[in-house]
């Protein structure tokens, strides 16, 4: 009985230590979430304004042509997948990876029909373990990534579309709704087919619509990718905070259960000792 009680006490101590860790991780994630949320929300107006300007130029310039605006026969599709570098974030990574795999299974019958770009080591390892080729990758992002951190993979994804390596490019990421809710999202990034329907504004530009779009369209696509990365970071911290909160609550419940078991075992041991003392006294009498 004493051995069993010692084992229960060790279990309680172990769970208490785990609870301290999960609580600390929850608090860290909560503090990082606020900064990431502000960054994600701040990026949206810039992307919206850039879209307005580009769309206005494209709509007001008849006959303007650019590879990023042209819809063509889809022979190959690109997917840029945004994941995290660390785990312990609930279903954050599994949800977005499940979503992109669903897209691939439903729309492609051969690996030659799609190309994968990935941000985050969790996504990279997932595709590598399934022997799925990765065109370009970025891992080891900071908690507050800058545009320069993802510019290489963003530029590569856009350039490969422009030169015809694939005919559509999708962005797959977790859209931040709030700390509890993150939506796995598949968004068509290229071609920018909806630009032609934008409202026309009276912008002055030079040297020509084609020249301006040549610069702005790749920048706009890269901005959307960076915005998705910021959304992903906010979603990651929200998911981690929620996961660690659940883990802390579960640890609290487990400690209560183990404490109850320990007290019952201790009571049983005391009762047994009293019974043995009484039995010994009766035997001597």
The torsion defined by the Cα of 121, 125, 127 and 128, in degrees rounded to 10, comes to: 130
Per-residue confidence at 199, pLDDT binned at 50, 70, 90? low
Q: Does 247 score more than 60 pLDDT?
A: yes
DSSP string, 37-84: HHHHHHHHHHHHHHHHHHHHHHHHSTT---GGG-----S-EEEEEE--
Structure tokens at 276: 């043995």
Specify whether 151 is located in the same domain as 122: yes
Specify whether 205 is located in the same domain as 227: yes
Specify whether 105 is located in the same domain as 18: no
- Locate tokens 């409202």: which residue? 199
* CATH code for position 259: 1.10.287.80
Q: Which of 25-29, 57-61, 76-80 has the lowest mean pLDDT?
A: 57-61
Q: Does 86 score more than 70 pLDDT?
A: yes
Q: Which of 138-142, 161-165, 168-172, 269-273 has the lowest mean pLDDT?
A: 269-273
Nearest to 147 by CA among 59, 246, 75, 219: 219
Specify whether 83 is located in the same domain as 119: yes
pLDDT (0 to 100) of residue 285: 59
Specify whether 64 is located in the same domain as 79: yes
Specify whether 7 is located in the same domain as 112: no
DSSP string, 163-203: TTS-SEEEEEEEEE-SSS-EEEEEEEEES-GGGGGSPP---
Q: Does 6 score more than 80 pLDDT?
A: yes
Q: Does 227 score more than 90 pLDDT?
A: yes
126-146 tens-digit pLDDT = 999 999 999 999 999 999 999
Tell me if the pTM is above 0.95: no
Nearest to 50 by CA among 190, 172, 161, 212: 212
Share the mean pLDDT of the chain. Answer: 89
pLDDT (0 to 100) of residue 141: 94
Query: Is the Cβ–Cβ distance between 168 and 77 less than 8 Å?
Result: yes
Structure tokens at 85: 């570098």
Specify whether 206 is located in the same domain as 120: yes
Specify whether 274 is located in the same domain as 174: no
Cα(228)–Cα(59) distance, integer angstroms: 26
Specify whether 65 is located in the same domain as 204: yes
Q: What range does the domain containing 6 cover?
A: 2-25+243-284
Query: Is the Cβ–Cβ distance between 158 and 67 less than 8 Å?
Result: no
Structural domain count, the chain = 2
* CATH code for position 113: 3.40.1380.10
14-55 tens-digit pLDDT = 999 999 999 999 999 999 999 999 999 898 888 888 888 887
pLDDT (0 to 100) of residue 206: 72
Per-residue confidence at 209, pLDDT binned at 50, 70, 90? confident
Specify whether 69 is located in the same domain as 167: yes
Per-residue confidence at 64, pLDDT binned at 50, 70, 90? low
Specify whether 201 is located in the same domain as 226: yes
Specify whether 161 is located in the same domain as 258: no
Q: Does 230 score more than 60 pLDDT?
A: yes
> Within a 10 A sphere around the Cβ of 190, how many other Cβ atoms?
26
């Amino acid at each position: 009985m004493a051995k069993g009680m010692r084992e229960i006490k060790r279990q309680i101590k172990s769970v208490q230590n785990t609870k301290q860790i999960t609580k600390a991780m929850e608090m860290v994630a909560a503090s990082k979430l606020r900064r990431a949320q502000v960054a994600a929300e701040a990026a949206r107006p810039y992307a919206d304004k850039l879209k307005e300007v580009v769309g206005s130029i494209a709509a007001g310039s008849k006959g303007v042509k650019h590879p990023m605006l042209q819809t063509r026969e889809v022979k190959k599709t690109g997917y840029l997948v945004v994941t995290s570098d660390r785990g312990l974030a609930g279903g954050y990574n599994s949800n977005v990876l499940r979503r992109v795999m669903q897209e691939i299974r439903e729309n492609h019958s051969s690996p030659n029909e799609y190309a994968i770009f990935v941000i985050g080591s969790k996504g990279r390892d997932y595709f590598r373990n399934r022997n799925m080729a990765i065109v370009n990758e970025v891992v080891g992002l900071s908690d507050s990534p800058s545009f320069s951190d993802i510019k290489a993979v963003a530029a590569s994804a856009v350039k490969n579309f422009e030169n015809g390596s694939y005919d559509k490019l999708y962005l797959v990421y977790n859209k931040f709704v709030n700390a509890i809710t993150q939506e796995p999202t598949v968004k068509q990034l290229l071609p920018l087919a909806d630009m032609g329907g934008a409202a026309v504004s009276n912008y002055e530009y030079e040297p020509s619509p084609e020249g301006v779009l040549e610069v702005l369209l790749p920048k706009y696509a890269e901005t959307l990718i960076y915005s998705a990365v910021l959304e992903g970071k906010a979603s990651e911290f929200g998911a981690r905070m929620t996961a660690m909160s659940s883990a802390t609550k579960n640890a609290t419940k487990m400690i209560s259960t183990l404490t109850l078991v320990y007290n019952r075992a201790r009571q049983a041991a005391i009762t047994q000792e009293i019974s043995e003392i009484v039995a010994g006294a009766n035997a001597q009498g």
